[in-house]
Structure 1
Amino acid sequence: MLAANRLAPVALALLIVLAGCGGAPGNGTATNDAAGTPTANGTATTTGDASGTVTPERASQDGAVAVENGTLRVNATRTFARVQSLMGTDVDPRPVELRNLSEWRSSLPRVAAAPINDALGFENVSANWSEPTGVTKFTGYVYVHPGEGSPQEVERVLAHEFTHSIQFQANMFPWLDELRTGRVTTDEAKTLRALQEGGAVYVTDAYTQQYLDVQRNSAFAREYMSKSPTHWSALAPYYFGSQYVASRIDSPQQLSNVYDNRPNTTEQILHNETRREEPPADLAVESTVSASQWQYLGNNTLGEMTTRGALGTELTQSRAAEAAAGWGRDEIAIFRHTGGDERYGWAWVHRWDDASEADEAASALRTFAERRNDASTYEFAVTRVSDGTTALVFGDDAFVANATVTGTTSNVSVAVGA
């Protein structure tokens, strides 16, 4: 029996945008890279001094915002001051660099979409680079791509990114070291992202209401989530994260309170629950491989948000939501063919809240599997492990034909034979 490796890199690439990148939802945020939008890097080359912008020399003297590599039609210093006043913090502004993020992304080495995304039906989507967007680094340094946005639209993006900058500089995220040096599951990473982005959307909504006459970030996220299952999965942390934050506090000045007793699953984010109110159920999935052509890579927990998003690639969003709502815990075991031909297999085990929820989920999974069998080159099969537990086995035909899932509600074994 193989020891459980809690994280497998193949599964970790499932539609995660890592902390440190903070594009405003629906404003050109790139969602077509299934492995996540990389953190921007590089240095400023020029500075501008148009209305509302200042040089780096002044920035260090009077707390103004340095705008580098061009000029903005937005008073960045005033925007930062407004955001900081809303949040009740006292940190120094970091520079803002104007950068054509579409050119920057195209200059990066191409990263193949994770095979699991392809298998589950997530498709690449194109970003609209005519719309403004932004990225914020862990250091609080902000990149803005104005695109063809109006001054107010750019200001909304700038307010979103300044919120991230303040979040980082005010040390609001106790999990940053964990993200930098540790390893977290997909569900944990999406939960943290929902808290980070949800907080920024919440503050930007307050900013928009007070200072601007444009659509709020949360409305943008909701609008874009309706475009495709991939959009839904990419923007769900923004939308549901902002709803969670709004339910917990009454003012942007209380934002740090949300992070003190934070949820640890996307289920808690989606249903506005605390760790104590809705803890994950017990589930252990162990794997054995008796066939030399398959290698076990490890386990991962994808979570309710990913479960709902995956089902939504073949089912209606309402049915996907209803089926995923009974999530108690999941573990996905990942396998790779040893022939070096990039063939994979997955056994995705779900423990549901009760037998009735498992009945509903099993029915949805069977419909999903049938449709994916017809729509993709992968094979899909559903196993009812126990009254409360299901398994979706999918991937390479030979893997599915030779994988067996057995066990009880909370203890499951995946065996891969010849």
Structure 2
Amino acid sequence: MRRASLSLVLAFLVVLAGCGAPVADSADVDEPDVRADGAAADAEPTADGNSEQGSDDDRDERAEDEADELDDSSAGLEVRGGELPFDENRTFERVQELLEVELRPPVVYVQEPLGTPRGVERNPSSFYAVMNVSLPDPDDTGDELGVGGVASAMNAVYVMPGDDADPAEVERVLVHELVHAAQFQQRVPQAFHDSVPSAHQGTTDADLASVSVMEAGAVYGSTAYTDAYDADVEPEGALLERLYPDASPGTKLVWGPYYYGYQYVDERYDSPAEHWALYEDPPVTMRAVMAGDRGSETELEPFGVRLAAGDTNWRLADTDTKGAFVTKQVLGTELEAAESRDVTSAWAYDRLVRASHDDVDLDGYAWSIRFETAEDAEAFDAAVTDYLDSRATSVTVDGESIDGDVPVAERETATWYADGYAYGLSSVDDRTVAILAGPDAFVESAAVESAGRSDVRVVVDPDRDERASSVAAPAVEPDGPVPAATAPRGAAP
């Protein structure tokens, strides 16, 4: 499943919250394991906030042509497809006043809400399936969020009210989307893209930071609007603060950029008019977003990673950088939120290798995560061991089954098994911890090692791979065969 799942997930996000609550679809948002890593990262949004095809120059030219046709600002907003239950032009004027910018009026489309997808087919080889992060749960919002919305870089806004939608909630969505329209007109996505170091561009972490920066302004703007004009609806920022802490892991993965982005802006600026300074020095990693750091205050430590498969048939499928936020969410599926936050706060960088094999049903992963100090890496190593101990249904150490948790001294010779997946853990160097995950055929035949300077190499040993291939499908646990790999417990199939 690659880009084909975009519309399905977009439908979920729009109905789940749209722009009137935790999730707004200003950028091109994919389900977290949709895209290939790197240039097409196994991530969420595009780095420049556009889903249109073609070069940046082509998109800009199309946007300018359409804007020229709509440049008669005296006419106010043009609403197509239906009516809004309030004075949309008054709302438009108020947004401009709050932002202290003059906007070209976007076309506003009123449309029927999209249905919420349930029973989504998830690729069991996807990173989030292997790491037991469930799909977003529509029940996390209850019946509170019935209005959806999307903004386009082509100066169009879509509002999806649903039946009997509360006018104040519909207006909150429109305000959120108008802020996005302002961001597009001020070329915020392009400014963010230009701020990201080249080695970090196209990664999951950079894409999540892009969403966070965009949604930070929109959530902050709609919250300020609700407060300034005493709208009879819960401010979007307050809604995030209330719903996010108790949301499911999959929902938190999607909502996180909104939640932390809003906190970033709310703590730094006093008004929507001031928030434009955010885009002059934006945070370019989710660690910076969560820590409240500017981009210029962030020193990245990118490192290279490669797969050395020898004579085996394992081949490199993708590489990526997941970032501190994703690492935190993975651990948070088994550990307390405070522990997962603390052990990932010193994240320095990470590199993920995804490997495929024609004769093995599941892809394998080697995830190398580097920390600021050796002590930080040791703390993370211990936390990952707890995560694996909690998740596993059976464990071996040096090939022998054990009962209970893995002793600290033996964790690098342990293999954990859960839901048809195998897991291994090793220290690459004093600051870098590697997690191996996927089929037993990969985990038992792969090792992660330093490769000169600060780079990392994933080595698949031919002899060990030959042995492991004999149990490749299905994987074999020490106590007998395990079921074929499925989506994680609690997730949609």
If the length of structure 1 is used for normalisation, what is the TM-score?
A: 0.82
User: For 1:200-224, what per-residue CA distance to the aligned partner results, in whole angstroms no more than 9, with x for missing partners?
Assistant: 1111111111111322212222333
Contact 1:332 1:349 in 2 (8 A): yes
Does residue 23 of structure 1 match 2:35? no
Contact 2:98–2:273 (8 Å) recurs in 1: yes
| Cα offset, 1:171, TM superposition | 2.0
1:153, 1:400 → 2: CA distance? 49
1:406 positional shift: 1.5
Post-superposition CA distance 1:30-77 (Å, at most 9, x none) = 999444589899xxxxxxxxxxxxxxx999573321221112212221
Aligned twin of 1:140: 155
Amino acid at match of 1:92: R
Inter-partner Cα distance in structure 2 for 1:318 and 1:190:
21
Paired AA for residue 215 in structure 1: E
Q: Which moved more, 1:266-275 or 1:408-417?
A: 408-417
Deviation at 1:233, TM superposition (A): 1.3
Structure 1 equivalent of residue 209 of structure 2: 191
Aligned residue number for residue 269 of structure 1: 289
Structure 1 Cα separation of the partners of residues 109 and 368 of structure 2: 45
Q: For residue 292 of structure 1, what is the amino acid of its counterpart? A: T
Greater Cα shift, 72-81 or 325-334? 72-81
Find the counterpart in structure 1 of residue 61 from structure 2: none
Percent of aligned positions that are identical: 27
Asked whether the 8 Å contact 1:366–1:381 carries over to 2, the reply is no
In the alignment, structure 1 residue 346 sits paired with structure 2 residue 365: yes
Distance 1:342 1:259, change over 3 A: farther
Q: Does the 8 A contact of 2:79 with 2:108 survive in 1?
A: yes
Tell me the distance in 1 between the aligned counterparts of 2:373 and 2:324: 15
Q: Could you say if the C-alpha distance between residues 378 and 272 of structure 1 is closer, same or farther in structure 2, counting changes exceeding 3 Å?
A: same
Q: Find the structure with the greater CA-based Rg.
A: 2
CA contact (8 A) 2:308 2:460 kept: yes
Deviation at 1:25, TM superposition (A): 6.2
1:310-349 matches, within 5 Å, as 310-339=330-359, 342-349=361-368
Corresponding residue number in structure 1 for 2:428: 385
Q: Quick check: 1:118 aligned with 2:129?
A: yes
Which secondary structure state, in structure 2, belongs to the residue aligned with residue 101 of structure 1?
coil
Distance (Å, rounded) in 1 between the aligned partners of 2:296 and 2:103: 34
Alignment of 1:163 onto 2:179: yes
CA 1:410–1:169: 2 relative to 1, 3 Å: same
- Per-residue deviation, residues 271-304 of structure 1 (Å, max 9, x unmatched): 0113343312353323211243211123211111
Structure 2: which amino acid aligns with 1:168?
F
Q: Check if 1:413 corresponds to 2:457.
A: yes
**Cα distance, 1:28–1:172 mapped onto 2, change above 3 Å:** closer
Which residue identity is paired with 1:84? Q
Alignment check: 8 A CA contact 1:33 1:113 kept: no
Aligned to 1:220: 239
Runs of 5+ consecutive residues of structure 2 not aligned to the other structure: 35-43, 53-68, 394-417, 466-493
Q: Is 1:398 matched with 2:441?
A: yes
- Per-residue CA deviation, residues 57-102 of structure 1 (Å, 9 max, x unaligned), is 9995733212211122122211111111111111221111122232
Q: Are residue 358 (structure 1) and residue 373 (structure 2) matched?
A: no
Q: How many residues align?
A: 384
How far the C-alpha of 1:24 sits from its partner, in A, is: 2.2
Q: Which residue of the other structure, out of 188, 195, 204, is the alignment partner of 2:222?
A: 204
Shift in alpha-carbon separation, 1:113–1:385, aligned structure 2, 3 A: closer
The answer for unaligned runs of 5 or more in structure 1 is 1-8, 42-56
Render the CA deviation track for 1:326-354: whole Å, top value 9, x for unaligned.
20111111111224x65211111011111
Change (3 A) 1:256 1:342: farther
Matched, 1:257 2:277: yes
The residue identity in structure 1 corresponding to 2:278 is V
Q: Does 1:245 align with 2:265?
A: yes
Q: Quick one: distance in 2 between partners of 1:296 and 1:334?
A: 6
CA deviations 1:376-399 (Å, max 9, x no partner) are 221111111222110011011111
CA distance in 2, matches of 1:332, 1:121: 16
Task: Evaluate the alpha carbon distance shift between residue 386 and residue 27 of structure 1 in structure 2; reply closer, same or farther with a 3 A threshold.
Answer: closer
The structure-2 alpha-carbon separation of the partners of 1:125 and 1:273, relative to structure 1 and needing over 3 Å to count, comes to closer
Residues 45, 208 of structure 2: 8 Å contact kept: no
> For residues 281 and 32 of structure 1, what CA distance do their matches in structure 2 show?
27
Instruction: Work out the CA distance in 2 between the residues paired with 1:233 and 1:79.
Output: 32
Amino acid at match of 1:150: D
What secondary structure is seen at the aligned counterpart in 2 of 1:333?
Answer: strand
Equivalent residue, structure 2, for 1:86:
98
**CA spacing shift, 1:242–1:28, aligned 2, 3 Å:** closer
SS of aligned partner of 2:376: helix
Q: 2: distance between equivalents of 1:23 and 1:293?
A: 44
- Aligned partners of 2:194, 2:20: CA distance in 1, in Å? 25
